[in-house]
Structures are given as C-alpha cells and as structure tokens.
Structure 1
Amino acid sequence: MQEYIEGAPHRIKVGCFAGGAAIVLNGFLSVIDVFDVFDEPIYYVVNAYMVFFGVVTMVTESDPSFIQVHETLTPLQKWMHEWAKGLTMLWGRGLFYVFQGLSVRPG
C-alpha cells in the first residue's frame, strides 16, 4: 500500500490538490469575514494560516506537467521541496495533512 501511495497515482494527487483548494477556499471565506476578527481573533489568524497551508498543499501536490506549463510555480515547488523535505516523503505529507485537519474550525 505504501508503494502505491508513494508512487503517487494521478487520482491521489488530484484528491490532495482538491483538498488543498478546498482548504484555501474555506480559509479565504473565513478571512474575508472581517467581523470575526473582533469576536474570535484566534480563529481569524488560524484561517489565515490555513490559506497559506492550502496553497502549500496545492503547490506540493501539483503534477509536474502542470508545473512546467506554469513557469512561475517551478522555482516555488523546487524551493519548497528543498526547504521542506518532509513534504516530499509519505509520512511528512501525512503529518502535514493531519495537522491541517486538526486546525480547521468546524462550522
């Protein structure tokens, strides 16, 4: 099973990319709700970080053919893989996704 996942079949990469996009959308919708800043400022900050983490997920899980077409993402993905080596390994991505899941505020 680990070899199957590490081989990163297309369906798994697309699912992870879609999850990152959903996190960005959810976090962005919470960030533009500026009235939440006064009620619960910590959730506002967490949602801002979740937008960033969602973008990291999307860049990390992007297919190399997609990255090659969008030339500005190639150095970003290369830099991310160099400085966040844990995201290039199965256990590192898994821990990162668990962290993301625990950080999302329900409702």
Structure 2
Amino acid sequence: MDDDLEGDQQTSRSATLLGDSVEVRTRLEYIKDRITKGPVPLKGICLVSCCVAIAFDAFALIADFFTIHPMKFILTLYAATFAFLGLLLEFNHMYCGPLKAWINVWLKLLTRVWGRGLFYIFAGGIHLSLKGLFGYLCGFTLLGSGIACLIVSRVASRKLTKLHDRIVQGHTDDLVYVRQVFNRYDKDNNGSLSVPELAACCKELGTDFAANELVAIFEYLDKDFSGKLSYEEFERWWTGADSVAYDRVPMV
C-alpha cells in the first residue's frame, strides 16, 4: 500500500516537472522572439517609419538633382539607403531569405532588436541633418522607432535573465550526483571538460537549455578562453552563484 502511494507521488512529481519544463521552454521561445524579432506592433511601426522616410527621400533626391545641390543629394542618398536597409531588415524577419544568412554572418548586431534600434537612431540622425519639415518628421519618426526597439529589447532581456535564473534555481541540489556525472565525462581525469562535453553533461543532468545555448553559455563562462571549464566553475553556474548575460547567447 505504501509502495503504491509512493509510486503515485513519484509519477505525479515527474508529470509536474515535465509540465514545468514545457511551460518554461514555451516561455523561453516567446521571449527570444521578442529579443530577435520584436512584437508585431513594433515591426509595424518600424516598417511605416522606413516607408515614410523612403518616400520623402525619393522626392528629395529628385529635387536636389534638378536644383544642383550635390552635397545635399549625397546626404539624401545616404539617408535613403539606410531607410531602405531598415525596410529590408523588417521584411527579412517576415519572409526570411538570403539576406538573413548574410546578416547572421556579417552584421550580427542587427539580429537583435536593440541592434536594429541603434540602426534606426543612426538613420534618424541622418534624416534630421537634412532639415526641413519632412526631414525632421522622418528623423524623429525613425528616432522614436529606435528608442522603442531599445525599450522592448531591454524589457525582454530582463525577462529572459529572470527565466534562465529560474531554470538554474530549479537544478538538483544533489551535488554528489552532479559531480559523478561530471567525472563520467572527464575522460582524462584532469578535473575539466571541453565545452561540447559540458553541454552533453548538462543535458544528461536534465537542463532545459538547448544544446547550442549550453555551448554559448559555457563559452561565456570560459574567461581564459582555454576551451575547458573546471568543475568548480561549472558548479558555481549550476548553483546560481555565477550569472550569465543570457541575452548575448545565440538564439538559433
């Protein structure tokens, strides 16, 4: 009778943990989407800002060409180029394509909402330098979009850190078992593991992090860039003694 009751409790506990894990993973994906893409209303604001700027720049380029203002024409061309790039950035996240792969390799800054926020602020500054009613209108619109991106990214990053801290706090308190698993992957018995080995070790311990996230986290913890982490370094993260800037972790 007691064995049956204990078995039922264990099953119930396992089901609860599984449900918590699914909930956490779903929440993580939601927040990551906010950090990399941003909410739909924000994307709409950025798209409208870029479209308005491009429309103004097109008319301004024609006017500058026929009125023979070469310096202003070049400045307007720069402004139009940045507005067009902003438009491509937002459409890139809607439909994806070759541009996404190119950005991921050469312009990683723009894979985050805060990076695009800085981009829009810079583009807004160029439009403000054009002066005039429409120049100020486009400039302040792009500046507003950039500031909104920074705010959204900051809020999402805080939520991501809190959720990851919750994952770490939920790790097992049985450090003896943790050490046993760590030692199992330490083939040469030197008290440290490579980053891929640590990722595999952590997965065996039942973490909610994805494999690529674990690799990025341990690379972040590897302060001396040795490519290995000692058990003491790992335990400090595992128990929550060391924190990680999780918003810097790759989200692919």
TM tier, smaller: 0.7 to 0.9
Q: Structure 1, unaligned stretches of length 5 or more? A: 69-73
Match of 1:46 in 2: 75
Match of 2:119 in 1: 96
**Cα distance in structure 1, aligned partners of 2:100 and 2:92:** 11
- Correspondent of 1:80 among 90, 103, 125: 103
- Displacement of 1:48 after TM fit? 0.7
- Displacement of 1:5 after TM fit? 5.4
The runs of at least 4 aligned residues of structure 1 exceeding 3 Å deviation read: none
Q: Structure 2, unaligned stretches of length 5 or more? A: 1-30, 133-252
Structure 2 residue 46 is the aligned partner of structure 1 residue 16? yes
- Displacement of 1:94 after TM fit? 1.9
Cα RMSD of the aligned pairs, angstroms, is: 2.3
Amino-acid identity (%): 27
User: How many residues in Structure 1 have an aligned counterpart in Structure 2?
Assistant: 97
Using the size of structure 1 for normalisation, the TM-score is 0.74
Using the size of structure 2 for normalisation, the TM-score is 0.35
Change (3 A) 1:75 1:14: same
- Displacement of 1:50 after TM fit? 1.5
- Displacement of 1:35 after TM fit? 2.6
- Of structures 1 and 2, the larger Rg is shown by 2
**Cα distance in structure 1, aligned partners of 2:101 and 2:47:** 17
Asked which structure has the greater RCO (Cα within 8 Å, sep 6+), the reply is 1
Match of 1:56 in 2: 85
**Cα distance in structure 2, aligned partners of 1:77 and 1:21:** 20
- Displacement of 1:100 after TM fit? 1.0
- Displacement of 1:61 after TM fit? 1.3
Structure 2 residue 131 is the aligned partner of structure 1 residue 106? yes
SS at match of 1:32: helix
**Cα distance in structure 1, aligned partners of 2:92 and 2:109:** 18
Alignment check: 8 A CA contact 1:13 1:63 kept: no
